[in-house]
């Protein structure tokens, strides 16, 4: 069973040149570089969603940023 699926995407030539150049600098294939970039993007999205969830929860509970910091400290020290 194949672990990767070839996918075709269309990119501007200048972008492909930058990808190729960066991949060479890092001794990676373009596919490896793009996989790393996409993984980084997905991780950033997950953190952004978690942060937004925390913002909504603190607003719902009427907490201010110093309250959140205090509560985190309390949990960490208990």
CB of 23 within 8 A of CB of 29?
yes
To the nearest whole number, what is the mean pLDDT of the chain? Answer: 94
Which pTM value belongs to this model? 0.73
Which of 68 and 57 is assigned the larger pLDDT? 57
Distance between CA atoms of residues 22 and 75, nearest Å: 43
In 3-state terms, what secondary structure has residue 3? coil
| Residue reference for tokens 């978690």 | 50
pLDDT at 52 (0 to 100): 96
Share of the chain above pLDDT 90, in %: 74
Number of residues that this document lists for the chain: 78
In 3-state terms, what secondary structure has residue 28? coil
Model confidence over 33-42: pLDDT tens digits? Answer: 999 999 999 9
pLDDT at 13 (0 to 100): 97
């Amino acid at each position: 069973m194949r672990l990767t699926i070839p996918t075709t995407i269309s990119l501007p030539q200048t972008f492909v040149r930058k990808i190729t150049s960066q991949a060479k600098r890092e001794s990676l294939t373009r596919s490896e570089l793009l996989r790393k970039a996409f993984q980084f993007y997905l991780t950033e999205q997950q953190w952004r969603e978690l942060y937004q969830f925390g913002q909504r929860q603190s607003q719902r509970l009427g907490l201010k940023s110093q309250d959140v910091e205090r509560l985190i400290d309390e949990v960490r020290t208990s």
